[in-house]
Structure 1
Amino acid sequence: MPQYFSPGVYVESVPPASLPIAGVATSVAGFIGVVADDVTMPDQPGKFQQRTDDNGDPVVDDDGKPVLDPIPYTLATAGEPILITSWEEFKTKFGDFHEGNKILAHAVYGFFFNGGSRCYVLRVAAATDIDNPAEELEKFETVDQITIVAVPGAISDIQHTAIIAHCFRMEDRVAVLDGDQTKDPSDVSGIRPVGRSEEASYAAIYYPWIKVFDPVTKAPDTLPPSGHIAGIYARNDATRGVFKAPANEVIVNALEISSPISKAQQDGLNPEGINVIRSFKGTIKVWGARTMANDDNADFRYVSTRRYFNYLQESIDDGTQFAVFEPNNLALWQRIKRTVGDFLLNEWRDGALFGETPEQAFFVKCDAETNPKEVRELGQVVTLIGVAIVKPAEFVIFRIQQTAGE
């Protein structure tokens, strides 16, 4: 408390009791994939070292000048999540397109090319190291920024189970899974080896694979779409918002799909939570927006609903940390209501919540009813929040009838 010794007007800066809630990032991906130990790394610009012979002696040219060799970048350590913010940065950590990193490199390239800006990459040295990626996924648990998880090319039930379990446990991220492109569209259990469930509401699966140009072979190659899909999530979040379904979106850099899917074939896949990638007159689009939630968890049937709910939960959690250890009284309850209410009001104004008025779109209740004496005695403050999240218009129906003209 400042002291005043002479008469006058004193103007002071007073920090707010609580800061507004800032929405958390929603489009930071986490990739796990193979980069062989012998992958060729690009040279560091402007850095050279003295060449030596087999005996360790310096090598010189005919004029007696030392022969210098460029110094390549050092391959990133296996098993360590590395933040990558551009394709060029990926190359300095994991190498350019190479047979030893092909699936992962194309996935990360597709992520950035489709709108992604930040991702964490964890490499393993061999494909057998991710037959069961549970151990590698544990290393993502300390990276709070990750909101999308993908293991490009993983199609087995063990792999899908591990990825889904990780996202379900963390409750702040979703899995982008690759379906098995070798399976026929009628083989649902082959395409999607793990069934729909509450846990699987944190996952979305995409089928079939896509064809992209491979700089190594100089020809189109069939590769898993999960990296490109994660980039579409990021692009959609930036241009429309996380509440908008990441579907009816063009997959940039895709030349074709591994096998054409008809509307009739999709009729059997969509209800099973398999998001189909289709070609419309040569334009490759994501034509599905569902999670793998079962019927008992239909509230989270759509990818946008699950991701937006994760966003709300994480944003409110981060933005109300001021309440911890505060006196549990009416003043605190009002601060919580005001802080959360202002945040949700902005979300409604952005079009994320359904309702003609804020009262129809959300409510925040924190009072003596939610915090009776027995709750306060336990050191708890309880706030009840309700939100009406907008759902995607998955089926757009026009009913047209003929009328007699006059």
Structure 2
Amino acid sequence: MSKLYKTPGVYVEEKDTFGSSIVSNPTAIPAFIGFTEDANNSNGEGLNLVNGSTIVREPVLVQSVLEYEQTFGGADTTGIVDVSEHDNDGKTSYTAVNKKANEAYTPGFMYPSVLAYFSNGGGSCYIISLGKYEEFNLTEMPATITNEMSSIEEAIQMAETATLILPTDLIRFGDANYYSWGTQLTDFASKEKKYFTVMDVIQKDPKGPVYNVEDISNYRNAVSLEQSCYAGAYFPYLQSLTAFAYKTDLTNVYLNGSLLQSKPATVENTKTVELVKTFLSTNYINMPPSPFMAGIYSRLDSTSGVWTPPANVAPNGVAGPVILLTNTQQESMNVSNTGHSVNAIRSFTGRGTRVWGARTNDGNSVNWKYINVRRLFISMETDISKGLEAFVFKPNVFNTWVEVKMMINAYLFGLFNQGAFAGATPETSYQVLIGLGETMTEEDILNGYMRVSIQVAPIRPAQFIELTFSQMMGE
């Protein structure tokens, strides 16, 4: 009914013709978990701990390597670099081992992981610090982390826009601990239905070059298959173009058992120091591939869409994989009776290094074997769930159902136009069902439930995967 105006003049009414809309949320923002050089805010004060935690700091959003360095510092130089000199037919060569307390020590992966992420097209990311480098302890820390898993999960939830979970730095605690924590984080991701865990298969020998099938079997035996479509794993390690860090004053560099800095300042020793420094500048880290993959996810999502398979892509900042896999070796990684697929990273003549697989851990699943499909549905569930929140206090009646259907149809049509689905037409790509007799009974309506069914064909036309949303309406 038109309004009655009581005075002369011009009156303007704005009508909401299009109703509500669904906003697409970020799809590839990782939360890196591990140890950092520092853990201070902009005022130089220590970061707040997650409520009730003794080690887990609140997440910090960083958008560049510089921002990371301002809050968390740089690379791990807490150990020593023990350099050995060799004479190979009259030519001098060097090898190096990282140590701490006279034992082999793997420097922290957090800083080089951030470098790998940004060099591969990554945007924003969250850092969840578990403490400083010097607090890393192989003996005591695993039990603490196990007890603090709920705090780590809480920190991930505090990272509001995070969608990827990367526990890469925790590899240093060994396969039993890392796989156990990875399974817990994957279970957490499946319950929240908004995260995807990017994992690595641990190499017993990070240098390679020999393929050890036990690396794959250890992973498959340790990681739970339940809800494993919320995780994907990669193998082998990559030779990065980031060198192991050392203190610029050489106070942690040894040559043949003697502190390099303590050598007399002779011409010969000065030359030796320069040769060692040159060697150290090319003493590259063999890294787990997950941070490179997080950057690739981010790059593809922004340029092609979350539905794009993260495969046949060249990672940046690597010399190549440390193991040159064969077709036969990859076959056993790709398909397994247990369903634990492992994605290979391979080197091809004339093509360089390529990511050569895009399967979730649940590689035998009909619906969820592909990473891009799983991540697309995570994205859609998140977007649509947030869109439906606008209807919580609306009446659960026909007019509301029409508005909801129009809103979701518009969102899915936008994805269809971008090429997210397999069908050639909207009808063969998606369907939206809502209403009495379609998705709801009279009892549902009386109890305040609005139910929406969405069917999407991400792989083949008219072969739908169904999503169901149930919302309790306000009174």
TM over 0.5: yes
Q: How far is the alpha carbon of 1:24 from its aligned partner?
A: 1.2
Q: 1:293 aligns with which of 351, 362, 381?
A: 362
Show the counterpart of 1:302: 370
Aligned length: 359
Q: What SS is found at the alignment partner of 2:123?
A: coil
Show the counterpart of 1:186: 213
- CA deviation digits over 1:259-280, x for unaligned, max 9? 2211111011011410011112
Q: Does 1:314 align with 2:292?
A: no
Q: CA 1:372–1:235 in 2, change beyond 3 Å: closer, same or farther?
A: same
Q: CA 1:267–1:147 in 2, change beyond 3 Å: closer, same or farther?
A: same
Show the counterpart of 2:119: 113
Show the counterpart of 1:284: 353
Question: Structure 1 residues 181-190 or 367-376, which shifts more?
Answer: 181-190
* Percent identical: 26
Amino acid of the structure 2 residue aligned with 1:249: V
Show the counterpart of 2:436: 368
How many angstroms apart in 2 are the aligned matches of 1:363 and 1:35? Answer: 47
How many angstroms apart in 2 are the aligned matches of 1:8 and 1:31? Answer: 61
How many angstroms apart in 2 are the aligned matches of 1:220 and 1:91? Answer: 20
Q: CA 1:163–1:223 in 2, change beyond 3 Å: closer, same or farther?
A: same
How many angstroms apart in 1 are the aligned matches of 2:130 and 2:436? Answer: 53
Q: Does 1:92 align with 2:70?
A: yes
Amino acid of the structure 1 residue aligned with 2:65: W
Q: 1:387 aligns with which of 456, 460, 470?
A: 456
Q: 1:238 aligns with which of 298, 302, 316?
A: 302
Q: 2:243 aligns with which of 198, 214, 219?
A: 214
How many angstroms apart in 2 are the aligned matches of 1:315 and 1:32? Answer: 25
Q: How does 1:61-210 map to 2 (within 5 A)?
A: 76=47, 79-100=57-78, 102-125=108-131, 126=136, 128=138, 129=141, 132=146, 134-135=149-150, 136-153=152-169, 154=171, 155=175, 156-182=178-204, 184-187=211-214, 188-195=216-223, 197-210=225-238
Q: Does 1:247 align with 2:296?
A: no
Q: CA 1:196–1:293 in 2, change beyond 3 Å: closer, same or farther?
A: farther
- CA deviation digits over 1:229-252, x for unaligned, max 9? 101100010111100111111110
Q: How far is the alpha carbon of 1:383 from its aligned partner?
A: 1.2
Q: What SS is found at the alignment partner of 1:30?
A: strand
Q: How far is the alpha carbon of 1:211 from its aligned partner?
A: 1.2
Q: How far is the alpha carbon of 1:185 from its aligned partner?
A: 4.1
- TM-score (normalised: structure 2): 0.70
How many angstroms apart in 2 are the aligned matches of 1:245 and 1:198? Answer: 23
How many angstroms apart in 2 are the aligned matches of 1:185 and 1:355? Answer: 42
Q: CA 1:190–1:337 in 2, change beyond 3 Å: closer, same or farther?
A: same
How many angstroms apart in 1 are the aligned matches of 2:299 and 2:29? Answer: 11
* 8 Å Cα contact 2:167/2:182 also seen in 1: no
* 8 Å Cα contact 1:177/1:226 also seen in 2: yes
* 8 Å Cα contact 2:183/2:224 also seen in 1: no
How many angstroms apart in 2 are the aligned matches of 1:27 and 1:292? Answer: 19
Q: How far is the alpha carbon of 1:102 from its aligned partner?
A: 3.5
| Unaligned stretches of 5+ residues in structure 1 | 45-71, 392-406
Show the counterpart of 1:20: 21
How many angstroms apart in 2 are the aligned matches of 1:340 and 1:275? Answer: 34
* 8 Å Cα contact 2:363/2:370 also seen in 1: no
Q: 2:421 aligns with which of 353, 365, 372?
A: 353
- CA deviation digits over 1:28-51, x for unaligned, max 9? 1100011256x9x9xx9xxxxxxx
How many angstroms apart in 2 are the aligned matches of 1:319 and 1:110? Answer: 34
Q: How far is the alpha carbon of 1:73 from its aligned partner?
A: 5.7
Q: How far is the alpha carbon of 1:192 from its aligned partner?
A: 3.9
Q: How far is the alpha carbon of 1:283 from its aligned partner?
A: 2.0
- CA deviation digits over 1:92-125, x for unaligned, max 9? 1111223357410011111111111111101122
Q: CA 1:383–1:24 in 2, change beyond 3 Å: closer, same or farther?
A: same
How many angstroms apart in 2 are the aligned matches of 1:232 and 1:335? Answer: 37
- CA deviation digits over 1:252-305, x for unaligned, max 9? 00112222211111011011410011112372221110001163x331001001
What is the RMSD computed on CA atoms of the aligned residues? Answer: 2.5
Q: What SS is found at the alignment partner of 2:386?
A: helix
Q: Does 1:333 align with 2:401?
A: yes
Q: What SS is found at the alignment partner of 1:89?
A: helix
Q: How far is the alpha carbon of 1:76 from its aligned partner?
A: 4.6
Amino acid of the structure 2 residue aligned with 1:172: K
Q: What SS is found at the alignment partner of 1:352?
A: coil
Q: CA 1:176–1:336 in 2, change beyond 3 Å: closer, same or farther?
A: same
How many angstroms apart in 2 are the aligned matches of 1:285 and 1:343? Answer: 33
| Unaligned stretches of 5+ residues in structure 2 | 49-55, 79-106, 206-210, 246-279, 461-475
* 8 Å Cα contact 2:37/2:75 also seen in 1: no
* 8 Å Cα contact 2:244/2:285 also seen in 1: no
Q: How far is the alpha carbon of 1:75 from its aligned partner?
A: 6.3
Q: CA 1:196–1:161 in 2, change beyond 3 Å: closer, same or farther?
A: closer
Q: How far is the alpha carbon of 1:74 from its aligned partner?
A: 5.8
Q: How far is the alpha carbon of 1:373 from its aligned partner?
A: 1.4
* 8 Å Cα contact 1:172/1:311 also seen in 2: yes
How many angstroms apart in 2 are the aligned matches of 1:93 and 1:3? Answer: 61
